[in-house]
Structure 1
Amino acid sequence: MPGPCRSHRRAEAARAAAGRGLPSIEPGQPAPAGTGMSRRALLARASGLALAVYGASHLPLAQLEDSVAHAAAPAAAPGGTVLVSVFLGGGLDGLGLLAPVGDPQYRKLRSGLLIGDEARPFREDDRLRWHPAAEPLRELHEQGVLSVLPAIGYANPDQSHFTSRHYWEVGSLDHRGTTGWMGRLLDRVGDDEHPLQGLSLDGTLSPALATSRVPVAAVADPSEYSFWAHQVWGDVDDLMRESAARIGRAHAASGDPAIAVAGRVAQRSMALYDQLGPVRPKDGEQGAADASPVRYPTAQDSSFPEKLRALAAMLGAGLPLRCVAVDGPGQYDTHDRQAPTLQRNLELLSQTLRAFQADLTARGLADRVLVHVWSEFGRRAQANGSGGTDHGAAGVSLLLGSRVHGSMIGEFPGLSQLDRDGNLRATTDFRALYASIAEQWLGVDGAAILPDAGRVGRYALLR
């Protein structure tokens, strides 16, 4: 399996350091949004509790207690809209996902990576054909629930993984951005008390969710939210949790303020454990415990299907989610051996997104959820000599949901007028897309969260 380029490995190392509250270790690169945000686990590490709460300032125990209390209760108005961000790390080759087979320059530029004429056509531009592994995406587009932006990016593109991803995460071409674009959305529509309003499903804070005011959370695996004790299982494990809840209730009535707060935290943490019950696997089962109405794909090297299945269960349980971030399957920095890597990644991504949409539809939740799929940039139009493609500029983004227009947004510019680096030119701006999502999906003025909103247009996203 091909590995990512050296700059991508350095970028990921820098992000890992920054995620611990340290400055970036990559000289000259912007620190990820959220660097330095305080982090508190809901209970001590030894308890096995998976959820971590992040705040813009130090989270005192009393505020943590309130966070648990709100997270433990279903949303008062569970009909709110939810935005799910799926990041495809490394730079998805948009010219591989939607191959311009009908462009006269295609066979010249893509020797060794050609997709045959038998590939299924893209409905709105007969030059383009879907990668065969993306057949589920084609079906969703034909059903009118998948919109496609075939050439999205920004002016004067930066081909650094680290910098370009930072721009997308903060929603601005600003190296100094410290809050994420979804974090600023939550600062407007969220509140000071419950962290599940913004949730990272990859164990660490997604920079796009970094806020300045309200708490957000991260969980490595929603199905593993549990309380663990050495050599304790079965009936004894159940008794332990029941006892913890009783002890919590008793301490919550203490005259000592610190003991009372600790008791309420334990009590409400158990309530959160019960609330997430539909997400946990039952004995002998894999994945989310509630019987998903659809079958998700399985993968030995990716938890992406399980994370989306668990997310559907969390939404079905009424948890008060507003913005969710998750990394998509696979690695898209395909400098070599692109064909088998892209085939494998697109199969799992496409099949999982189709299952997730069907799951939401079966649960009656499809009108509430909008999924945005993005990558930091596309790939170079001309294939390299290693069976791959190098860093490019404009790429592909997707919007999935029952309320989207299900159409092409922008246009495919063709291969005859590439930029000076041989890259596809952008016909849509990611900041305009963000402003359109903020205004049309979450009811927030784009200018209130995006510094450049006044200089970019808007796209009609919804029916």
Structure 2
Amino acid sequence: MKRRDFLKRTSLASTALLLPKFLSGFNLIDEAIATGKKLVIIQLSGGNDGLNTIVPFRNDVYYQKRPSLAHQKSNLIGITDEIGFHESLIAHSNLYNNGELCIINNVGYPNPNRSHFRSTDIWHTASDADQYLQSGWIGRYLDASKSKSLDAIEVDDTLSLLMKGSKTDGIATKNPNIFYRTTQAPYFKKVVSHHDDAHLNEHNLGYLYKTMVTASSSAKYIYETSKTYTSKTTYPNNEFSKQLKQVAQFINSGLQTKVYYASLGGFDTHANQANKQKRLLKVYDEAMEAFIKDLKQEDSFKDTLILTFSEFGRRVQQNAANGTDHGTANQVFLIGSQLKKQGFYNPMANLSNLDSIGDLKYDIDFREIYTSVLNNWLDIDAKKVMHKSFKGLNIV
């Protein structure tokens, strides 16, 4: 049985592969408070409609293709004489005006896949459309940089492929207190107390116990470090805001973690899109506003880069249900105070030059963005992480 298949079939495989307290003597954590750059990755899951997020309100084709979904200029937050933010993106318009937002238009990849699951895997692994990788680009970053599991945290109950490496996986946890208390449960002490060296030499069991030891030390360190900071910022009362509040607590407490991942779902707007997207973008925007305020109050924003993506955009032509179907190219947002390029990185998509089924053509391969982040923000040679060579962009 393969290692990952084995883990998937155990009850210990989801959040952390938990372990009793008596193994906490295996000190796998550097106790010194770490400083340095942080990367926060946010996914708008389901395929956010980028064309109604950054809106070309002077484009006749836009209104022809979307007779009931197109936004009017009067409802938008102006960016230029031709383009505006969706009305829900008030905080992002302020970031734009402050020079803290870069909007990268027409991002995609060759031979795009319109399946949520497959396209998400492609974005998470940085693979080609016809290539199936078993490790995520952040997981491979952990491997290449010889980082520890706690150097990448997903604020969720389960770990995404994005965070899984060949040698080292990130950690998934929503609540460091619950994470730590669970590792102290007598049940886990009983389970692990029955192991012996022979078991540890078995490939699957050896990996399992090693991961459990790592989880135990990580849980204690994460809990004891993160509890030293209490946010003074008021966040909206929703699950996505709770995720970002937790990330802010991790960062502001001095946790050594380098990469965080959170997501907001619901963007698969096949029907009645206008109200759904308005609500979701409001949730996203207001949570981000609180999160960035929290970081700025503790002077952590200057060392934080935020990357927001969606696994694909939507079809240019609206459908009969006042929604949009799965499309291709989309925007990526980069947010930070150390951006080399602010505003728009490249022009809006040409709506008069669509592909054979009416989707946007991509200009920028998303892996060029990853390459830039790896080389210039996470300070590692991207060639050690990516399976192909990409030129990168001069943004960070």
Q: TM-score, normalised by structure 1?
A: 0.72
On the 8 A contact 2:225/2:253 being kept in 1, the answer is: yes
The structure-2 alpha-carbon separation of the partners of 1:437 and 1:271, relative to structure 1 and needing over 3 Å to count, comes to closer
On the 8 A contact 2:163/2:169 being kept in 1, the answer is: no
What is residue 203 of structure 2 aligned with on the other side? Answer: none
Aligned counterparts, 1:147-296, within 5 A: 147-173=102-128, 174-191=130-147, 194-222=148-176, 224-227=178-181, 272-278=222-228, 290-296=229-235
1:383 equivalent to 2:318? Answer: yes
Moved more, 265-274 or 307-316: 265-274
Helix, strand or coil at the partner of 1:324: strand
Distance (whole Å) between structure 2 residues aligned to residue 451 and residue 161 of structure 1: 22
Render the CA deviation track for 1:160-188: whole Å, top value 9, x for unaligned.
22221111111121432111011111112
What is residue 139 of structure 1 aligned with on the other side? Answer: 94
Distance (whole Å) between structure 1 residues aligned to residue 32 and residue 6 of structure 2: 26
Distance (whole Å) between structure 2 residues aligned to residue 446 and residue 292 of structure 1: 34
Distance (whole Å) between structure 1 residues aligned to residue 120 and residue 215 of structure 2: 37
Render the CA deviation track for 1:344-394: whole Å, top value 9, x for unaligned.
100010111121111111111112211111111000001101010001010
On the 8 A contact 2:180/2:220 being kept in 1, the answer is: no
The structure-2 alpha-carbon separation of the partners of 1:80 and 1:268, relative to structure 1 and needing over 3 Å to count, comes to closer
Higher relative contact order (CA 8 A, sep 6+): 2
The structure-2 alpha-carbon separation of the partners of 1:430 and 1:273, relative to structure 1 and needing over 3 Å to count, comes to closer
What is residue 38 of structure 2 aligned with on the other side? Answer: 82
What is residue 395 of structure 1 aligned with on the other side? Answer: 330
Render the CA deviation track for 1:285-306: whole Å, top value 9, x for unaligned.
xxxxx5423221222xxx1111
Instruction: Give percent identity, aligned residues only.
Output: 27
> How far off its partner does 1:311 sit?
1.2
The one-letter amino acid paired with 1:274 is E
> How far off its partner does 1:51 sit?
5.5
What is residue 190 of structure 2 aligned with on the other side? Answer: none
Equivalenced residue count is 370
Distance (whole Å) between structure 2 residues aligned to residue 429 and residue 208 of structure 1: 18
1:460 equivalent to 2:378? Answer: no
Distance (whole Å) between structure 2 residues aligned to residue 171 and residue 263 of structure 1: 30
Over 2 Å off, 4+ runs: 34-41, 68-75, 119-123, 220-229, 261-278
Helix, strand or coil at the partner of 1:178: coil
On the 8 A contact 1:221/1:307 being kept in 2, the answer is: no
Moved more, 266-275 or 420-429: 266-275
> How far off its partner does 1:39 sit?
7.5
Distance (whole Å) between structure 1 residues aligned to residue 328 and residue 213 of structure 2: 53
The structure-2 alpha-carbon separation of the partners of 1:226 and 1:143, relative to structure 1 and needing over 3 Å to count, comes to same
The structure-2 alpha-carbon separation of the partners of 1:215 and 1:152, relative to structure 1 and needing over 3 Å to count, comes to closer
Distance (whole Å) between structure 2 residues aligned to residue 323 and residue 205 of structure 1: 13
Render the CA deviation track for 1:138-180: whole Å, top value 9, x for unaligned.
1111111111112110122121222211111111214321110
CA RMSD in angstroms comes to: 3.4
Distance (whole Å) between structure 1 residues aligned to residue 384 and residue 218 of structure 2: 35
Distance (whole Å) between structure 1 residues aligned to residue 214 and residue 65 of structure 2: 64
The structure-2 alpha-carbon separation of the partners of 1:214 and 1:349, relative to structure 1 and needing over 3 Å to count, comes to same
On the 8 A contact 1:143/1:406 being kept in 2, the answer is: no
Gaps of 5+ in 1: 1-20, 23-33, 55-59, 230-240, 245-250, 252-257, 279-289
Moved more, 400-409 or 354-363: 400-409
What is residue 197 of structure 2 aligned with on the other side? Answer: none
Q: TM-score, normalised by structure 2?
A: 0.83
Distance (whole Å) between structure 1 residues aligned to residue 131 and residue 57 of structure 2: 37
On the 8 A contact 2:77/2:87 being kept in 1, the answer is: no
What is residue 352 of structure 1 aligned with on the other side? Answer: 287
The structure-2 alpha-carbon separation of the partners of 1:304 and 1:266, relative to structure 1 and needing over 3 Å to count, comes to closer
On the 8 A contact 1:94/1:396 being kept in 2, the answer is: yes
Render the CA deviation track for 1:322-343: whole Å, top value 9, x for unaligned.
1211112x31110001111101
